[in-house]
Amino acid sequence: MSTLQHDPDDRVQVLDEDGEVVGDVPDLSEDDLVGMYRHMRLARHFDQRAVSLQRQGRMGTYPPLSGQEGAQIGSVYALEEDDWMFPSYREHGGALVRGVGLKQTLLYWMGHEEGNKIPAEANVFPVAVPIATQIPHATGAAWASRLQGEAKAFICYFGDGATSEGDFHEGLNFAGVFDAPAVFFCNNNQWAISVPRERQTASETIAQKAGAYGIEGVQVDGMDPLAVYKVTKQAVEKAKNPGEDELRPTLIEAVQYRFGAHTTADDPTVYRDDDEVERWKAKDPIPRLEAYLRGEGILDDERVDEITEEVEGAVADAIKEAEAVTRPEPEEIFAHVFADMPEHVREQRDAFEALREKYGDEAFLRE
Amino acid sequence: MATQQETETQNLTLVQAVRDGLYTEMQRDDDVLVMGEDVGKNGGVFRATEGLYDEFGGDRVVDTPLAESGIVGTAIGMAAYGLKPVPEIQFQGFIYPAFDQIVSHAARLRTRSRGRYTCPMVIRAPYGGGIRAPEHHSESKEAFFAHEAGLKVVIPSTPYDTKGLLISAIRDPDPVMFFEPKLIYRAFRGEVPEDDYTVPIGEAAVRREGTDISVFTYGAMTRPTMDAAEHLAEDGVDVEVVDLRTVSPLDRDTIVESFKKTGRAAVVHEAPKSGGLAGEITAIIQEEALLYQEAPVERITGFDTPFPLYALEDYYLPSAARVEAGIRDAMEF
Ligand SMILES: Cc1ncc(C[n+]2csc(CCOP(=O)(O)OP(=O)(O)O)c2C)c(N)n1
Ligand SMILES: [Mg+2]
């Protein structure tokens, strides 16, 4: 029986909190296993540095991802080259694996328009800040792909809070009705800013909501990267190649926790206590995978040290590059509103440039 | 908790005045309740509802599921059923899921039911740019709502007005959109009476009297406008600054009276130019005071582009320098 046919109340797990094997280990090469570990370490280190950049006033508000690396990295590793990713605003780790570099992510949170420009080779949609709005987009793209006779999967990420929005319902409902090859990946990190999961829905699990759309739902330990990989892989395969009488879409509920604040503007001590945070930290996906890989003889101290050094270098380089980018020109405000710049927008741009010429930049910049 | 001194007035920031207005009305009227995302235990992401949850409990200060249409839609039902909900939308940029409920129902329940049902409620939302916020957090879209008959749209610019207008809005028999200029949530303090008092909806305030030109503005743009006016005074240009306070319905009398005195006008808002309030104010001047007009009305506004990510927001927002340049243009015509 496919893992996806589990009772949605029954959480899929491969590694327990100590990295001991408790379920069928998915088929992954040593390279991929080390790659997953390395990417999780990279995401964690990036996150820590990004929070400190914000604290130092070198970056604006930033949404941390620590604790959620297992869900992000485990799931994107299950995608194939041609598949697509529709993120929310917290999936910098997954986006990195899919070709959106760290510099790009830094620029976005540093307020540069350029940070929103996804590299041409990456099948990734832009960050979606308005909650749940990306869900119908993923359904639509997946549906279009099926209509065009392709065999690709479209994975869409969103939080537990997002499941309360109408767009969640509409996106999943359309996916069921039009059999869109989509994988809806809910990062249930227990909190929507200060609002706990129980306040979003009276249903036992989020995964069980799939039943109402006639699609499969599965709950997975989102801090177990191998379990996440396993269920996502099956969902991706089913999206492309459903069995007889099977619909393509799946809803995955990855149960996890955000270790840090909602964003750097948030103070989580107001609404949750340290004990809770500590309990979840015991499930940290990184030491868990590391323990497993060491036990299998795939990682040792030397390899871990190498990875640490590599990861620190990569993040330091990205920060240096992003900070070397100077303030964009006002021209950027007016560009790309339409394919062709309308006359009145051109006039507004020119009038502003004339003022800037006359009074100098200082007249317009605060600080 | 906002500081509450045992004197008759308190020195509050604008966001503290929001909180004080809610507190005052909730004390006075058990039917008033606050609902929205993170308004309860967290006290709101801007702390506008801080302490209210502890004071009034979870039935009157309600953390809702993350769903703006649900928040406003249920608030309509509550209001029609006798309560006085004050839903908070966390940022104006996230109000759109509720747009259908606001325009199709809140704005016209009274008309549609021929007065049988009404929905007296206040929808609060912080709006505007200038705080280095992420994408979709800086918009200024009051014109969407001003365009809708059946909605009043209030935008305060001082702590005193904030409390007084909020109380008026809560007591109003019809739905009121209450947009708060988050750029100046904590920019300065002002004296705010501890007791309840009202500032009437639909009345502008002349912030600075002048004889040469009338500048109409509201919300966070009141400050750069006042700065520009003071600066121009050094050059002998005597600017009258009118803070509209309510953008729908507009205070036509004050607008026209001021314009008849000066014969020149500029309008300052951070919202985009096309379809913005400045066009409406210009039309009022045309209709009511054409023969007094000595120069085209200058519109000093945001551009007709999406609000940029924050590295460029200072260019987008009308600065004192832009306001001053616009006023000079109108003066030199
Ligand atoms: C439509 C909309 N409403 C409100 C917000 C403000 N907001 C940003 S994140 C957030 C909580 C999201 O929680 P969840 O979906 O669980 O995702 P998480 O941030 O926990 O990853 C809220 C209310 C928003 N961005 N968009
Ligand atoms: Mg969440």
CATH number (domain holding residue B302): 3.40.50.920
Rounded Cα distance between A151 and B252, Å, is: 61
Rounded Cα distance between B268 and B117, Å, is: 37
Joined tokens for residue A41: 């370490």
B280 lies in some domain: yes
Count other C-beta atoms under 10 Å from residue A367's C-beta. Answer: 4
Closest-CA residue of A relative to B93 is A130
Q: Which ligand has its closest atom nearest to the C-alpha of A130?
A: 1
The closest-lying atom of ligand 1 relative to the alpha carbon of residue A193 is: 11
B321 lies in some domain: yes
Count other C-beta atoms under 10 Å from residue B82's C-beta. Answer: 8
SS3 A261: coil
* pLDDT score for B7: 57
Q: Got the DSSP string for A314-347?
A: HHHHHHHHHHHSPPPPTHHHHTTSSSS--HHHHH
State the average pLDDT for chain A: 96
**Is B254 touching ligand 1 by the criterion CB < 6 Å?**
no
Kindly report, residue by residue over A273-301, the tens digit of the pLDDT. 999 999 999 999 999 999 999 999 999 99
Q: How far is CA A292 from the centre of its chain?
A: 24
Kindly report, residue by residue over A252-274, the tens digit of the pLDDT. 999 999 999 999 999 999 999 99
Rounded Cα distance between A27 and B159, Å, is: 63
- Do B170 and B256 share a structural domain? no
* pLDDT score for A2: 76
Q: How far away is chain A from the Cα of B168, in angstroms, using its nearest Cα?
A: 30
Q: Do A61 and B67 touch (CB under 8 A)?
A: no
Contact criterion met (CB below 8 Å) for A39 and A96: yes
Q: Do B65 and A200 touch (CB under 8 A)?
A: yes
Distance A206 CA to ligand 2 centre (A): 12
Q: What is the dihedral of CA A5, A7, A10, A12, to 10 degrees?
A: 10
**Residues β-bridged to residue B122:** B176
Annotated catalytic residue: which of A39, A92, A146, A262?
Answer: A262
Crossing angle of helices A102-109/A301-324, nearest 10°?
A: 50
Q: Do B303 and A333 touch (CB under 8 A)?
A: yes
Q: Which ligand has its closest atom nearest to the C-alpha of A255?
A: 2
- Do A267 and A150 share a structural domain? yes
Q: Using a CB-CB distance cutoff of 8 angstroms, which residues of chain B are in contact with residue A270?
A: 41-43
- Do B213 and B189 share a structural domain? no
State the average pLDDT for chain B: 97
SS3 A14: coil
- Do B267 and B122 share a structural domain? no
Joined tokens for residue A185: 């990946």
- pLDDT exceeds cutoff 60 at A102: yes
Q: What was the ipTM of the complex prediction? A: 0.96
Q: Using a CB-CB distance cutoff of 8 angstroms, which residues of chain B are in contact with residue A355?
A: 321-322, 325
* pLDDT score for B6: 52
Q: Do B315 and A127 touch (CB under 8 A)?
A: no
Ranking A16-25, A91-100, B1-10 by mean pLDDT, the lowest is: B1-10
Q: Whose CA is nearest to atom 20 of ligand 1?
A: A192
Mutate to test the interface with B, among A116, A117, A131, A338 (most CBs of B within 10 A): A131
Distance A158 CA to ligand 2 centre (A): 8
- Do A272 and A314 share a structural domain? yes
- Do B251 and B157 share a structural domain? no
- Do B175 and B31 share a structural domain? yes
- Do A198 and A294 share a structural domain? yes
**E strand or H helix at B299:** strand B298-302
Q: Got the DSSP string for B207-225?
A: EE--SSEEEEE-GGGHHHH
Count other C-beta atoms under 10 Å from residue B150's C-beta. Answer: 17
Residue A345: give the domain boundaries. 330-364
Tell me how many domains chain B contains: 2
Give chain B's contact residues with A (Cβ, < 8 Å).
37-38, 40-43, 45, 63-70, 93-94, 96-97, 130, 132-137, 273-274, 303-306, 308-316, 319, 321-322, 325
B1 lies in some domain: no
* pLDDT score for A8: 72
Residues 6+ apart with CB under 8 A from A155: A75, A76, A79, A83, A84, A85, A86, A138, A182, A183, A185, A232, A236
CATH number at residue A22: 3.40.50.970
Kindly report, residue by residue over A111-134, the tens digit of the pLDDT. 999 999 999 999 999 999 999 999
- Do B75 and B32 share a structural domain? yes
- Do A339 and A243 share a structural domain? no
**Cβ–Cβ contact A125 with B under 8 A:** no
pTM for this entry:
0.97
Count other C-beta atoms under 10 Å from residue A349's C-beta. Answer: 18
- Catalytic annotation on A349? no
Q: Do A270 and B67 touch (CB under 8 A)?
A: no
Tell me how many domains chain A contains: 2
Q: Is the dihedral of CA B312, B187, B143, B284 positive or negative?
A: negative
B3 lies in some domain: no
The residue with tokens 């325009």 is B103
- Do A344 and A317 share a structural domain? no
Distance A192 CA to ligand 1 centre (A): 6
Q: Where are the beta strands (DSSP E) in chain A?
A: 11-12, 84-86, 154-159, 182-188, 191-192, 195-196, 216-221, 250-255
Distances (CA, A) of A86 to A155, A166, A242: 6, 18, 21
Q: Whose CA is nearest to atom 11 of ligand 1?
A: A192
Residue B308: give the domain boundaries. 205-332
Q: Do A366 and B40 touch (CB under 8 A)?
A: no
Q: Do B309 and A113 touch (CB under 8 A)?
A: yes
pLDDT band at B2 (very low <50, low <70, confident <90, very high): very low
- Do A248 and A345 share a structural domain? no
Kindly report, residue by residue over B184-234, the tens digit of the pLDDT. 999 999 999 999 999 999 999 999 999 999 999 999 999 999 999 999 999
Contact criterion met (CB below 8 Å) for A255 and A224: no
Mean pLDDT of B136-150: 97
Rounded Cα distance between A73 and A227, Å, is: 11
- pLDDT exceeds cutoff 60 at B3: no
* pLDDT score for A367: 66
B275 lies in some domain: yes
Rounded Cα distance between A24 and A226, Å, is: 9
Contact criterion met (CB below 8 Å) for A151 and A81: no
Rounded Cα distance between A239 and A216, Å, is: 11
**Is A90 touching ligand 1 by the criterion CB < 6 Å?**
yes
Q: Using a CB-CB distance cutoff of 8 angstroms, which residues of chain B are in contact with residue A60?
A: 132-134, 310
- pLDDT exceeds cutoff 50 at B12: yes
- Do A231 and A87 share a structural domain? yes
Q: Using a CB-CB distance cutoff of 8 angstroms, which residues of chain A are in contact with residue B319?
A: 363-364, 366
CATH number at residue B65: 3.40.50.970
B198 lies in some domain: no
The closest-lying atom of ligand 1 relative to the alpha carbon of residue A90 is: 21
CA atoms within 13 A on the CB side of B170: 30
Mean pLDDT of A184-203: 98
- Do B187 and B233 share a structural domain? no
The closest-lying atom of ligand 1 relative to the alpha carbon of residue A162 is: 15
Closest partner CB to A348 (pick from B37, B303, B310): B303
- Do B314 and B216 share a structural domain? yes
**Is A197 touching ligand 1 by the criterion CB < 6 Å?**
no
Mean pLDDT of A319-328: 96
Size of interface A-B (CB pairs under 8 A): 135
Q: Is the dihedral of CA B68, B277, B185, B199 positive or negative?
A: negative
- Do B168 and B276 share a structural domain? no
* pLDDT score for A7: 77
**Is A162 touching ligand 1 by the criterion CB < 6 Å?**
yes
Crossing angle of helices A285-295/A30-55, nearest 10°?
A: 150
- Catalytic annotation on A303? no
Q: Do B314 and A364 touch (CB under 8 A)?
A: yes
- Do A338 and A203 share a structural domain? no
Q: Using a CB-CB distance cutoff of 8 angstroms, which residues of chain A are in contact with residue B63?
A: 194-195, 199
* pLDDT score for A40: 98
Q: How far away is chain A from the Cα of B323, in angstroms, using its nearest Cα?
A: 11
Distance B181 CA to ligand 1 centre (A): 21
Q: Using a CB-CB distance cutoff of 8 angstroms, which residues of chain B are in contact with residue A331?
A: none
Q: What is the 3-state secondary structure (H, E, C) of B113-170?
A: CCCCCCCCCEEEEEECCCCCCCCCCCCCCHHHHHCCCCCEEECCCCHHHHHHHHHHHH
The closest-lying atom of ligand 1 relative to the alpha carbon of residue A158 is: 15
Closest partner CB to A164 (pick from B65, B137, B303): B65
- Do B132 and B19 share a structural domain? yes
Kindly report, residue by residue over B60-77, the tens digit of the pLDDT. 999 999 999 999 999 999
Rounded Cα distance between A78 and B273, Å, is: 47
